[in-house]
Structure formats: C-alpha cells, structure tokens
Structure 1
Amino acid sequence: MAAEIKRCSWCGTDPLYVKYHDEEWGKVVTNDKVLFEFLILEGAQAGLSWITILRRREGYRKAFADFEVNKVAAFTDDDVARLMSDTGIIRNRLKINAAISNARLFISLQQEFGSFYNYMWGFMPDRKPILNEILRPADVPARSELSDAISKDMKKRGFKFFGTTICYAHMQATGMVNDHLAYCNFR
C-alpha cells in the first residue's frame, strides 16, 4: 500500500499550486535567471495572492523577455506602455517600473558579487539553508531578522517592492528557508 502523501495545507488542491509546492517551493535555487524571475514575480505579488501570480507566470515570462535580466534592464518607456496594456500580467505602473529598475540593480549586484546568488547567500549563516521546524500552518513566519537585514540592504541599494515580507517569500521560494511543515512529504 502506498504511503499517504502529506503536503503543506497552504497550497490546497489547485493543481498549479500543488505543482509549485511539490516541485519548486523550498528547493535551493542557484541560477541567477531563476532568482531574477522570482524577484519579478514576488514584487508583482505585493498585495495579491501568490496563486494570482502563478496563474500569470507564463504571461510574465513573455512580457519580461523570458526573464533575461539584461533585456529587462534595457526596457524603455515604449516597453512600459506595452506592459501597461498586457492583460497577461498585473498592470500596475509602479510594479512595472520597479521590475525594470530592479533589473538594473540586479545587474549591479551581479557585477559586485559575481552573481545575485552570491549576494543573497552571503547573508546566510554558513551559506546553508535554514530548515525551520514548523508544526502548524499558523506558525509559518511572514518575515525574519534575516529578511529584515536583506530587505534593508536592498532598499538602501534602491530596490523597490522588496520589503521584508516579500524578501522572506523570495527566500522561501528559492530555498534559502525551508518552511515546509514538519509532516510534509516534500520537506
């Protein structure tokens, strides 16, 4: 008899959410392109649910040059106008402008640290993921002292839509923090 699959309750039964939970959330990402993708998507999520963004992920991929950071950093006012009329993404001018500005800043971090990955993981104790022992969904934190520190540094560098809560979500999504519940098979 096969063992019962147990997963974190936050993903519910939506197939897209379940796939994201099972295959991506909490797994360490070292690739800067994927880290940039999550930077764009997490910024777009501000004030919205993550499933709203997941459902538009392909739209974002098309609208934001397959998350090629150099291409996004070169976007012009014409691109902003194009994005503002793109129904495949969240059409919020502040978020769109922030994504373009953040792309330029992302490149500056790559130049300074060798990669965005090196920059982010430089904050991590021993450069290892934090494996939280969480028993109840209500105990999953929305921020941490570490997300506070990273967010503060990124804000100082000019990043927008990357406050401590968004930073913590980025850390969860990219495996810097593993907040799968203790009973979850995907921990």
Structure 2
Amino acid sequence: MTKRCSWCGDDPLYQAYHDTEWGVPCFDDHKLFEFLLLEGAQAGLSWITVLRKREGYRQTFDGFDPEKIARYNSRKLESLQNNSAIIRNRLKIESAVKNARAFLAIVEQHDSFSDYIWQFVDGRPKQNRWRTLKQVPASTAESDLMSKTLKKAGFSFVGSTICYAYMQSMGMVNDHVTSCFRHAECAALS
C-alpha cells in the first residue's frame, strides 16, 4: 500500500496531484504563473475546490496566458464573474488581472519570473523532514518575505500563508512528510 501525506485523502484527483505535481521543483514561468493565480483563488477555500475547477480556469483564463489576462477589460471581468467553471469572487478575478500585469513587469525587469521567485529559497528547494503534518508550518520567514516583496511589486492575494502554499506546490520546499513515498522522490529532484 502506497504511503502518502494524509492531506490528499482518498480522492483520486487529490492523490494524482499529490503524486505527480505537489512538491516537484518548477522553474517554468508559465506554470509558476498558473499556480500563482490558483493559489490566490484558493484563499479561504480548500485546495480540492480549486483543483476541481482548474480546467475551468485554464479554459476561461486563456490557458493562463499572462499577456492576454493583463488585457482583460471590464466586460471580460463581468463575464468571468458569471462563469460557474471558476470561483466567482470579484476580488479574486480582479486580482488575476492585477497579478498578470505585475508578473509581466517582473519578467520584463528580471528576464525570468522563475529566477525572481526562486531567490526566496536561494535558488534550490529547501528539504524539510517533517514526520507529521502538525509539524508543517502555515508560513515561514521566507514566505513572509516573499509576500511582502510580491505585494510591493503590485501583486494581490499573496499573503504569507498563500505564499507558503505556493512554495510547497512549486517544490520550493519539500513538505512531504518523511513517511510519504514522495518525500525521497522529490528530494532527489533537487
């Protein structure tokens, strides 16, 4: 029997995400942008809610193309707010546009969002060795700094807890518990 982090439960979608994506170091700007939007959409909700709507986001947000999203006008925002394929929170939808613009500004300034965002962990994944989920923090000094820096750069829905969840999902930290089969696999990727 495969031993996983208990947070993914027995939902096949959650397990597939846990087994193939969560904690895998990501340096691809497009995927980093996608997850920045999805983590912001999660605020106050469970991650499984966002995962279930991920394909809806992909379709309605032009494949997570920051150039297109940055140009969304009020008519497009209104249509998104009426679209049940995504989380229809007005502030979160507006945040996606704001974050696309901030993302593009970072890429313009630094040539790569990946290089910019990975600076918060010195360019390589932090390998944690948590034995239980209770040991895993909701935020860290690194996520505090990331949040503060992103807010200063014009991003929204990037509080420290959201930033730490982002760091976990993008493999900036390996927070699989040590008994999980993915802990060693993700550690080997760094």
Tell me if TM exceeds 0.5: yes
Residue 177 of structure 2 corresponds to residue 178 of structure 1: no
Find the partner of 1:96 among 88, 93, 97: 93
The one-letter amino acid of 2:181's match is: N
Residue 20 of structure 2 corresponds to residue 32 of structure 1: no
For the residue of structure 1 that corresponds to 2:164, the secondary structure is helix
Q: Specify the alignment match of 1:14 in structure 2.
A: 11
Residue 131 of structure 2 corresponds to residue 135 of structure 1: yes
CA RMSD, Structure 1 to Structure 2 (Å): 0.7
Q: Distance in 2 between matches of 1:45 and 1:74?
A: 23
Residue 111 of structure 2 corresponds to residue 114 of structure 1: yes
Figure out how many residues of one structure are paired with residues of the other and give that number: 183
Q: Distance in 1 between matches of 2:22 and 2:12?
A: 14
Q: Distance in 1 between matches of 2:112 and 2:104?
A: 8
Q: Percent identity?
A: 51
For the residue of structure 2 that corresponds to 1:154, the secondary structure is helix
Uncovered stretches (5+) of structure 2, i.e. residues with no partner = 184-190
Q: Specify the alignment match of 2:72 in structure 1.
A: 75
Residue 159 of structure 2 corresponds to residue 163 of structure 1: yes
Tell me the alpha carbon deviations over residues 129-178 of structure 1, each in whole angstroms, 9 at most, x when there is no partner: 00101001111111000000010011111211000000000000000011
Uncovered stretches (5+) of structure 1, i.e. residues with no partner = none
Q: Distance in 1 between matches of 2:29 and 2:66?
A: 9
For the residue of structure 2 that corresponds to 1:186, the secondary structure is helix
Q: Specify the alignment match of 1:50 in structure 2.
A: 47
For the residue of structure 2 that corresponds to 1:55, the secondary structure is helix
For the residue of structure 1 that corresponds to 2:182, the secondary structure is coil
Deviation of residue 123 (structure 1)? 2.1
Task: Return structure 1 stretches of 4+ with deviation > 3 angstroms.
Answer: none
Q: Distance in 2 between matches of 1:53 and 1:47?
A: 11
TM-score relative to the length of structure 1? 0.96
Q: Distance in 1 between matches of 2:138 and 2:120?
A: 18
